[in-house]
Amino acid sequence: MRRFENKVVAVTGGASGIGQAIAERFADEGARIALVDISRQRIEVALDSLAGRAVASMGVAADVTQVPALDDAFRRIAQQLGGLDVLVNSAGVISRATLAETSAEQWRHVLDVDLSAIFFATQAAVPHMVRRSGGSVINIASVAGLLAVVNAAYVAAKGGVIALTRQLASELAAQGIRVNAISPGYVTTPLNEDIRARGGDRYWVGRIPLRRYAEPREIASACAFLASDDASYVTAANLVVDGGMSSVLLPDPVPAQ
């Protein structure tokens, strides 16, 4: 399928993990790709992987918590690639500290990256979408926004992403811009590499009805659907992609079938 020919797609956090898989999926479907990531080194590696896939691609090294950097990034993307049609807000960090262990700095950092950056990136991107008579914004939330897992800062941020998605969808509909969220469950990414290295994946796999973690490409598939014309009447939705985990009452493991 080539559903995104002549479309420009920007992905924050696009140089690793879920964000990189999303960028690759859109590239495979004909889009021009812009990666926005804090690491210039990761951007260069990711752009190499896009070289044979994307019609055109570029990277912008930017801290998504800095509003001027976001404004500049989206201005450069629109100028170099010819506009902006799709924004995927995928940049994220995680903390596993308890209430007692979480410092003020940790709390603010998680909220800044995982929630506030989505607001400011969307604010910077929307004027460029309006010039294209509409577009699609997809925010990567988490089942942590629905369940009491991980830690307080992360849960608060991801719950905020889901609520923010609904509000932005309401505000931007008149401008032809759809806004949706995806809430992944456990995905094999660098963010949970530490848990998997300690064997924690075996614990959590027992609590997922499909009995495995997701692959980043599976989140990318959901993202491509929401950005496509197949989802032309879908906005303000939160698509849960978690292998059924959030349907199960924790902490009991799902029995093996």
Distance CA 208, CA 203 (A): 10
Would you name the residues annotated as active-site residues? 154
